[in-house]
Amino acid sequence: MARIAIFDYGAGNLFSLKSALERNGAEKVDIIYDMSDLDRYDGLVLPGVGNFDPAIESIEKGAKRLDSAIEKGKPVMGICLGMEMLFNRSEEGRLEGLKILDGEVVMLPKGKVKVPHMGWNNLKITARGKNSSRFLKGIENDSWVYFVHSYKTVPADKKLVVASSDYGTTVPAVVEKGNLVGVQFHPEKSGDVGAKMIKNFLLMCEQAKAAEDKKSK
């Protein structure tokens, strides 16, 4: 079983996410405020609560530690804002993003669609998502998930996108690179489909932990 850390940007209100992780099999879930003890955990979740610049300010002290953890294969899931922070920049803020993934974050097209996008929408899983995504294993095409967002990511490498959603514009809904996963929707609010995704993420954490334990022996 996996020990999971949720990084709190200072916005709080992380109870439903913590509960969802515990309910779906996490051994232990802690809310952390810096990256100093990241090595104690098998996986990290960057939640979707807060605004871009304050969130970047709160996490930038631990950015190098986060980069190192990702390079070593620690599973990380970014949800909504947590996903957007992984990219180079966002129209929501003036600060630079974490630059872990190449690309930018832009506002949904006002006048064309209602902003924020709030509600259920279905997923279009790409060929790569169907064939090799561990996060989407067992998830059917056209599954419905719950969105609350005003921005979308524009990855430089389109192959990172393993699922998208149509909201008058194409929204990259899931990006995946190794043990790094970003989701624009909220799996903790997405019923059985979201629960399955959370279980898949926890399995990724358990597998990474087992691989690390084997390497250290």
Which residues are designated catalytic? Answer: 80, 186, 188
Task: Fill in the amino acid letter for 106.
Answer: V
In the chain, beta strands by DSSP E: 3-7, 28-32, 43-46, 76-79, 89-90, 103-107, 117-122, 124-125, 144-149, 151-155, 161-166, 170-177, 180-183
Handedness of CA 82, 64, 54, 106 (dihedral sign): negative
- Which stretch of DSSP H or E encloses residue 116? none
Q: Say if residue 75 is preceded by a cis peptide, omega within 30 of 0.
A: no
d(CA 120, CA 167): 10
Instruction: Return phi, psi of residue 198, to 5°.
Output: -65, -40
Task: Specify which residues 152 forms β-bridges with.
Answer: 106
- Which stretch of DSSP H or E encloses residue 12? none
Pure H helices in the chain: 15-23, 52-59, 63-71, 81-84, 127-132, 191-216
d(CA 156, CA 159): 9
